[in-house]
Amino acid sequence: MIHTGPADVQSHGRLRSSGSPVRVVFLAPTFPPEMIQYTRGLAEVGAEVYGVADTPREALPKELRRHLHDYLQVPRIMDEPDVIDRVTAWMRGKHVDRALANWEPLMILAAGLRERWGLPGMSVDDVRGFRDKEIMKERVRAAGLRVPRSKRVRTPKEILAAAEEIGFPLILKPIAGAGSADTYRVSDRTELASTMALMRHVAEASCEEFIEGEEFTYDTVSIGGKPAYENVAAYLPKPIEARSHEWISPVIITVRDMHQERLRPGIELGRQVLKALRMGDGFTHMEWFLTPRGEAVFGEIGCRPAGAHLVDQMNYTSDIDLFREWARVACWRSFEAPTARHYNVGIIFKRAMGQGRISRIEGLGNWKREAGRWLVEDKLFRPGTPRRNWKNTLLSDGHLLVRHPDWSEAHRLSFSAAMGVRLYAE
């Protein structure tokens, strides 16, 4: 429970004039690692950043420390009422301008702090529309937009009833999931029984109509729900497939040409979804399906940046710094970076064959020669590094980033790495 109480921290309905710092409470500046970049961005646009996380102060990375004005270690960052009380006590008597987070599990907590202190920004109820997949779909559906038919389910009985109503194939997934964890395509009654057994530990799930088609992202940095920056990226293959087969090297490519006709329905859908869900200021990350008939169907959305380096890809697409630009939007409601798109940027996540530590890499030298100056990053794990659990993170055993002004070349180079570069573990 988050209580809305009288403002016990002094807030400013409006920001002080530029020149004086904006005081920002930023949750979890340490994790995931790119939060260090957002903290840097905040400091660079003139914010005084008060970080809150459960990392011990001594363990804060050096490159983060210099961007933090002060830091509070809490025992459990996910314990919402406890964090709200502690941060309120910590900031008592100080002016606070913003309470922010950029990591999905903390978005509601940041909104709770804003409500408690009477700060501007999205309310807990606004954020819930981006967090609870059924409330999300109800609100998007109510705006007349195309959403998969779906039901909230808690018990085996409810799942069976929902399956009858929705029909096969269907999707079963947690109501507040991430990274395709516990997400299953179910093609008939027999599969439904076995899937239900696998999902017993999930308290609340969504039972959804399965949408055929390609899958894309629609990402924005928005001001008052209006996109100041937009991005579309193609999932190759769809996340559910990438997470089902270990041999796949998942590829995601940002689309340079966002004006092409076939993407128009998805971009239009995205803009409408932001309105329907009362988006405020900040990043959004939406997923949508493009059906064989050319229709755009809503998938899901978060009011936070995409993870797994997609923000790096966007930065390489336009040669800009969205970490800083997000901060400018969050603090000053202004976006100043150019939005012209120069490249299609592909990321290729690799998964080693075998268990344990990486022992060797094949094909990397050849691929690098092929990619030439279009290679952007080589962050593949080197021999000796222990493998990551590919089921837990798309990041897997590292990645390659490549870009090209032509879609077909970016696509070709990405798949050449997906097929031709191989990592082995002993």
List the x/- string, 64-83, binding to ligand ADP by CB under 6 A: --------------------
Among 46, 118, 156, 177, binds ligand ADP (CB under 6 A): 177
Binding partner of 231, given Mg ion, ligand ADP, none, CB within 5-8 angstroms per partner class: none
Give whichever of 47 and 273 is closer to ligand ADP, judged by the CB atom: 273
Minimum distance of ligand ADP from residue 137's CB (angstroms) = 10
Peptide bond into 227 cis (omega under 30): no
Nearer residue to ligand ADP within complex by CB, 171 or 314:
171
Number of chain positions touching Mg ion (CB under 5 A): 1
CB of 201 vs ligand ADP, minimal distance in Å? 15
Which residues have CB under 8 Å from 298's CB, separation 6+?
137, 140, 145, 146, 147, 148, 269, 273, 286, 288
Asked if 131 is part of the footprint of ligand ADP (rule: CB under 6 A), the reply reads: no
**Positions in 288-327 near ligand ADP (CB under 6 A):** 299-300
Where in 219-278 is the site for ligand ADP (CB under 6 A)?
238-240
* Residue placing its CB nearer to ligand ADP in the complex, 41 or 302: 302
Question: What distance in Å separates the CA atoms of residue 221 and residue 298, rounded to the nearest whole number?
Answer: 19
Classified as helix, coil or strand, 150 is strand
- Give the residue ranges of DSSP H helices in 143-253: 156-166, 189-198, 239-242
Residue number with CB closer to ligand ADP (40 or 285): 285
274-333: which residues touch Mg ion (CB under 5 A)? 287
Min dist CB 140 to ligand ADP, Å, is 13
280 closest CA partner among 221, 332, 239? 221
DSSP-derived secondary structure letter, 261: G
Q: Which residues contact 272 (CB under 8 A, 6 or more apart)?
A: 143, 145
Q: What does each C-alpha distance from 200 to 24, 174, 307 come to in angstroms?
A: 41, 11, 27
Q: In this structure, what token pair is assigned to residue 266? A: 């998805």
Phi, psi of 357 (to 5 degrees): -95, 150
171 binds, among Mg ion, ligand ADP, none (CB under 5 to 8 A by kind): ligand ADP
Please give the residue ranges that form the binding site for Mg ion (CB under 5 A): 287
Please give the residue ranges that form the binding site for ligand ADP (CB under 6 A): 148, 171, 173, 177-181, 183, 208-211, 215, 238-240, 287, 299-300
